[in-house]
Amino acid sequence: MIRIAAISGSLRKASLNTSLLRACIANAPEGTEISVGSLRGIPLYDGDLETAEGLPPAVVALKTLIRETDGLLIVTPEYNNSMPGVLKNAIDWASRGGDMKAVFGGKPVAVAGASPGGFGTVLSQTAWLPVLKTLGAVQWSGAKLLVSRADTLFDAAGKLTDEKTKENVQAFLAGFADFVRAGAGK
**Domains of the chain by residue range:** 2-181
CATH of domain 2-181: 3.40.50.360
Give residue-wise pLDDT tens across range 100-143.
999 999 999 999 999 999 988 999 999 999 999 999 999 999 99
CB atoms within 10 A of CB 101: 12
Give residue-wise pLDDT tens across range 15-72.
999 999 999 999 999 999 999 999 999 999 999 999 999 999 999 999 999 999 999 9
Using the CB atoms, write b or e for 137-162: b if 16+ within 10 Å: bbbbeeebbbbbebeebbeeebebeb
